[in-house]
Amino acid sequence: MNGLAMYTENQGRTSDALVIEHAPLVKRIVYHMVTRLPATVAVDDLTQAGMIGLLEASRHYDPTQGASFETYAGIRIRGAILDEVRKNDWAPRSVYKKARTISEAVRQIENREGRDARDLEVAEELGVSIEEYNQMLQDASGQRLTSFDEVSGQDEALLLGASGDTSEPFDGVQNGHFRKALAEAIAGLPERERLVMALYYDEELNLREIGEVLGVTESRISQIHSQAILRLRARMTDWVSDS
């Protein structure tokens, strides 16, 4: 549908109507994102933030720019939820420290060996058992949503294609070189990690559903997902800050 047809279809629809129609989208996004946050995170708080994002989307959406409202609203909702997560910073500092420690170990091994770092190698580099390493991955899965969420198919270029409003939590992500580097880093992940990332971010399956697809536990999928994110962080050291 071209921009003029979309404008005609949506013209006259009130902001309230768009919010009511797309309210289920907020719930879907919240429950997709909350699986990687600490258990102390209140779903109601994230839902409220997502609804605010949806309301803002309904007020700023310009159908003549070509993107569907659902696409545009999804970006605004995720952005509002990310802001809420950052503002409250639910995860303890020890979680961030573990994530940085693992990323640094992965980076050192891969720079030294010139290939993917294996679980046992990372555990050895950290001076822990494989069981302790897996627990560290499980703990790290509760860290704040990383910058990967801000660029994995939800980049600012798409956002700005639907609205002229640039005051979004995606500032700086539009850099084409960054997106290219990230895409290459994702493509270079070990096969299982790449598959988990694709099922989670592209197909929007939750961790339990991915576990059923791959025939492993939800806990194991959480570990694989965390390792993929930390591997990406290690490989994107020049682009992504942990601050």
Domain annotation for the chain: domains and CATH numbers: 3-88 (1.10.1740.10), 93-144+175-235 (1.20.140)
pTM of this prediction exceeds 0.75? no
> How far is residue 177's CA from residue 118's CA, in Å, rounded to a whole number?
28
Surface-to-core class of residue 234, CB atoms within 10 Å of its CB (0-12 exposed, 13-18 middle, 19+ buried): buried
DSSP letter at 37?
Answer: S
**Residue 97: C-alpha distances to residues 91, 137, 140, 232 (Å):** 11, 12, 9, 16
- DSSP-H helix ranges across 64-175: 69-88, 93-113, 119-126, 130-140, 148-151, 156-162
CB 78 within 8 A of CB 47: no
Model confidence band, residue 94 (pLDDT cutoffs 50, 70, 90): low
**% of the chain beyond a pLDDT of 90:** 26
> How far is residue 73's CA from residue 77's CA, in Å, rounded to a whole number?
6
Model confidence pLDDT, tens digit, residues 177-208: 777 777 888 889 999 999 998 888 777 788 88
pLDDT above 70 (res 6): no
Q: Which candidate, 17, 50, 57, places its Cα nearest to that of 162? A: 57
> How far is residue 195's CA from residue 200's CA, in Å, rounded to a whole number?
8
Mean pLDDT of the chain: 76
